[in-house]
A and B are shown apart, each in its own frame.
Chain A
Amino acid sequence: MTIPAPFIDVQNLTMAYGDFILQQNLSFSIEKGSIFTIMGESGCGKSTLLRILTGLKRPAVGDVFFSGNNFWQSSKKKRVQRMQQCGVLYQSGALWSSMTIRENVALPLQQFTKLSPTLIDEIVELKLALVGLKGFGEYPPSAISGGMRKRAGLARAIALDPEILFFDEPSAGLDPISSKMLDDLILELRDSLGATIIIVTHELPSIFALADNSIFLDTETRTMLATGDPKILARDCDNLKVRQFLSRSASLADQP
């Protein structure tokens, strides 16, 4: 599959809340099948960028293209179709608390496919097995741990075999081992499902383990400081702040 235009292309994007401009002049593109991280300090607009890419918030200025189609210029129906091809894993799983894990994963399948109930059950069981939660289908989300809730959220996100998977801080609140396991799972899923993965994170180990490409957002200049492979950026980026972020070397003494 060779697509001449980049899979996801963001051009001259400005994010704002009312008069307050959060970030401006963001332009970057994401290749199909790659893992892209959105990095930056707390409060720089990482999560807002994610909301724009997933179609929850309209950008103030600029365009987002998915396979060459302008997302915000297309009709509401087209946008919803596009959104159905995205899976999102929210920070704390965002499982619907009134349903069991099985019902959570089954809901998109019941709503958007014509599969028979038995087949849906089998797919749900398969997805749960993929994230290592075999046999937890009948549990309510409140009865399992935070890490498991996150994995159940991932099972729900991949229920419809999405083309694009979004992760909002996948390692937040997880211990190093669970977080490493989640990273491995993300890599495995990318390799086998062929999905494009976009991750918002500031966990350095995850960034280096996963990312092929990245963008660094800055609060002070309100724009992107760098884009590229974080392993290369850490060594060769000409911006001090990016190098400090990626090598974790800034200290309070450096502050002016």
Chain B
Amino acid sequence: MNPDCVLQASHDKEELCLAFLGSWLIHVEPCGLPNFTQLFTPQTKSLCFDTQHLIEWDSRFLVELSRIIAIAENQSIAVDITELPSGVRKLLRLTQKKTTIPPDKKFRSLGVLEEIGNHTLGFFRQSIEMLAFTGELLLLYIRFFSGRARYLKKDLLFFLYDCGPQALPIVALISFLVGFTLAFIGSVQLRMFGADIYVANLVGLTMTREMGPMMAAIIMAGRTGASYAAQLGTMQVNDEIDALQTMGINPLDFLVLPRVTALIIMMPLLAICADFIGILGGFFIGCFSLDISPILYYEQTIKAIHLKHFLVGMIKSVVFGYLVAFCGCIKGMHCGRSADAVGKATTSAVVTAIVFIVITDAVFTFFFNVLGV
């Protein structure tokens, strides 16, 4: 059996002859080849090859060979390639063909300052994009209410179904557990004052004013906002949005309108469910763990929640619905044209939506507090 990739050099006056033996394959373990520059002596004027005992070859052979040839050409040594297998000669000729266009752009890594600058500029650009998109949505709804928007009723119904009944189980589960946890934590504190019954107030108020709308919005950001961004982003990659535009259909009307509308309509409804089921979670703990009578818990809850608390929650949830749909749609519509870009758009849609939800919630809480609502 022949050893793999062996190189034998023989000097004959001014001629250097290299004999390649064995298999020169990419799958062969790295073999100890000599440093090619040391093969050449100052007397060497020409180079020839012997491949009689070369068993198999592939790109491995080509690469090593072109390295040798490059060195030889550097030292202006004549290279005789006639003894090489014909396939090798053809491939060598092919690699030496001129490239069609010389690359002009440079893709290099950026410095720290450049990165900071880019991010700052990117932040401003994004803010402007968002403002512009808000304006476009405003115009969109003017068209919608004046009946000039072109969209499919079927799409709207589909998204209503997708954002409502389809999302209900997960929203219900999460808000039940949130109510459950609130009651548990609250009871430990309130028991110290013998005020167990106020668990009902705590759970009722927190769920209707804060947690119901907020949990529903965060779940919808992860569930529906992400799916909006991914759908629209993939449509961008497949030229589907261009196809709508060339047909004279405004993609905002056709794609964004049903999505945003569906979420704005469904979010308050989901929030109502979340409120109710969260309170049920608290009721569960109140009755079975704190031994409060169900009637008492019920009446305490009814006394605690005024219509205004409920309305505060509803106003929030409408705004949250808009924010989630807005982030999903803007990231999807402004998505790049690669699989990578769709992933980034989806991530960004969810993160932006959750950040916006939390900030808006804080602002609302502050203002309602000032107004004394």
Contacts and interface: CB of A to CB of B under 8 A. Distances in A.
Contacts of A193: 58, 87, 91
A244 interface: no
Interface string A174-194: 000000000001001001111
B308 interface: no
A119 B63 contact: yes
A126 B26 CA distance: 13
Contact of A132 (B60, B97, B341): B97
Interface string B325-366: 000000000001111110000000000000000000000000
A142 B30 contact: no
A135 B103 CA distance: 6
Contact of A114 (B29, B58, B63, B94): B29
Contacts of B90: 188, 191-192
Nearest to A151: B100
Interface string A216-228: 0000000000000
Nearest to B97: A132
Given A123-B59, A141-B338, A129 B87 contact: no
A127 interface: yes
A127 B103 CA distance: 17
A147 to B, nearest CB: 9
Q: How large is the interface on B (under 10, 10 to 19, 20 to 34, 35 or more residues)?
A: 20 to 34
Interface in A104-124: 109, 113-116, 119, 122-123
Interface string B64-84: 001100000000000000000
Contacts of A127: 59
A97 interface: yes
Interface string B99-124: 11011010100000000000000000
A83 interface: no
A126 B95 contact: yes
Contact of B26 (A133, A140, A161): A161
Contacts of B30: 114-116, 119
A133 B99 contact: yes
Contacts of B29: 114
B26 A160 contact: yes
B154 interface: no
Nearest to B336: A142
A255 interface: no
Contacts of A139: 103, 105, 107
Given A161-B26, A192-B91, A126 B59 contact: yes
5 closest pairs, A vs B, by CB?
A: A97-B338, A192-B87, A161-B58, A129-B95, A192-B90
Given A138-B107, A140-B338, 14 more contacts: A97-B341, A113-B26, A114-B29, A115-B60, A123-B60, A126-B66, A127-B59, A130-B95, A134-B95, A135-B99, A139-B103, A161-B58, A161-B59, A188-B90
23 contacts: A97-B339, A113-B26, A114-B29, A114-B30, A115-B26, A119-B30, A119-B63, A122-B63, A123-B60, A126-B63, A129-B99, A130-B94, A136-B103, A138-B107, A141-B338, A142-B336, A142-B338, A191-B86, A192-B86, A192-B87, A192-B90, A192-B91, A193-B58
Interface of A: 96-98, 100, 109, 113-116, 119, 122-123, 126-127, 129-130, 132-136, 138-143, 160-161, 185, 188, 191-194
